[in-house]
Structure formats: C-alpha cells, structure tokens
Amino acid sequence: MSSSDLVQRLSQKDPTALEEFYKQYRAPVYALARRIVVDEWDAEEVLQDVVWTVFRKADTFRGDAEFQRWVYRVTRNASLMLLRKRKRIPTPVEDSDMEAFINATNHYDDVHHPEQAFVHQQAVNRMNHELDRLDPVNQTLFNAMDIHGRSKEEVSLELGLSVSAVKARLHRIRKTLRQSVDNVLVPA
C-alpha cells in the first residue's frame, strides 16, 4: 500500500489501515524510540503512543513532507516527551558520543557498582551545571532542538539567526557538554 493510500485510509479511521501502518512502521519507530529513550519498555510505550497518535491525527497530515518524515517527527517528539515526563537527560540522536554516555546510565544504576554510580551522578550534575551556565539564547536553542525536537529552520526564525549559526551554536553546546562529562569520567 502506498503512503498516500495509507494516509487517506488512516484519515478515514480505517482499522485495517492502522494494522497496515503498524506492520510497515513498527520496526523503524521502535528503533528510533530505543535510540532516544534507551529502555526497551519505554521504547514500546513510545511505539504505542506513536501508533495511536498517527491514527488519531492522520487527517492533520498536510502532505508538505513525506509521510515517513512526519512519522519520524511524531516518534522523536513522543520519545522526547517521555524523557521530559520522567525527567531524564535527553539523547541527541545525531551525537553518538553523548548517546553512548546516556546509554551507560542503566549500567551504573546497579548497587554493586557504587563508585560508578557516583561518577555517573557527578557527570550528570556537571552536564546540568553546564546547561544552566548557557546564555539565554543558547538555552532556548538547545531546548528547542534537543528537547522539543524542532527543526533548525524553525529555531533560526524564532531566534533571528541564520541556519548555519544555529547549527554552529548547537555544535558548540554539545561539544561543551561532552567535554564537561569527559572531565568527570576521565579526570586530567
């Protein structure tokens, strides 16, 4: 079934279209959610949320972008909302170093590794401290892009910056966060 047919049938609340959507998009939605939220149970929760959101809101899909990109955005937003709800550190999808650090969270929660848990907590505290030290424009930029999943174009319009300036600032923010975490995990 083509994407346009699927969207049309989902807009009409056709249950067989929901089933077809689930078959086609279950794996990529779960994979993206798992990369962001890390925990498999949370990724399952995001998957269910995305399925029902797409079913309920398919009639709002304007067709400006590909359906697959819209589903990606819905998945990213649902994942970030779950992280915010549970007050976890968001995982920047593009940044594998930060992602690897966040993925390590589950390993350090074990009571058999209190030193690692302590070091990890210090790293989290350091990262939060660095985020608090950002100027208001950079805080807004980081929150809009890495927490709320907004596009570079949207953020550049909101802040009155060029897209390249937004990308450069985000890169510097992430680099600062990585360095602050590296300083805790691997002291000089």
Report the amino acid identity of residue 72: Y
Which domain-ending residue is among 58, 85, 112? 85
- Together in a domain, 79 and 152: no
CATH number at residue 49: 1.10.1740.10
- Together in a domain, 78 and 116: no
- Together in a domain, 110 and 70: no
Which domain-ending residue is among 85, 112, 129? 85
Q: Residue 27 domain-assigned? A: yes
Number of Cβ within a 10 Å radius of residue 51: 18
Query: What average pLDDT does the chain have?
Result: 78
Q: Residue 9 domain-assigned? A: yes
Q: Residue 116 domain-assigned? A: yes
Residue range 149-165: mean pLDDT, rounded: 88
Q: How is residue 37 annotated by DSSP?
A: H
Residue range 158-164: mean pLDDT, rounded: 90
Half-sphere CA count of 110, side-chain side, radius 13 A: 7
**pTM, full prediction:** 0.46
- Together in a domain, 29 and 51: yes
Residue range 134-148: mean pLDDT, rounded: 82
- Together in a domain, 113 and 73: no
Amino acid 138: pLDDT: 87
For residue 64, the enclosing domain spans: 3-85
Rounded Cα–Cα distance for residues 76 and 35 (Å)? 10
CATH number at residue 179: 1.10.10.10
| Three-state SS letters, 99-167 | HHHHHCHHHHCCCCCHHHHHHHHHHHHHHHHHHHHCCHHHHHHHHHHHHCCCCHHHHHHHHCCCHHHHH
Q: What is the pLDDT of residues 30-54, one digit of tens each?
A: 988 888 888 888 889 999 999 998 8
More confident residue, 95 or 159: 159
Q: Residue 61 domain-assigned? A: yes
Worst-scoring range by mean pLDDT, 8-17, 67-76, 126-135, 164-173?
126-135
- Together in a domain, 80 and 112: no
Half-sphere CA count of 171, side-chain side, radius 13 A: 6
How many folded domains does the chain comprise?
Answer: 2
Number of Cβ within a 10 Å radius of residue 177: 24
pLDDT at 104 over 50: no
- Together in a domain, 144 and 119: yes
Q: Residue 90 domain-assigned? A: no
Q: What pLDDT band is residue 148 in, cutting at 50, 70 and 90?
A: confident
Q: What pLDDT band is residue 105 in, cutting at 50, 70 and 90?
A: very low
Q: What is the pLDDT of residues 49-102, one digit of tens each?
A: 999 988 888 888 877 668 888 888 889 889 888 888 876 554 454 455 444 444
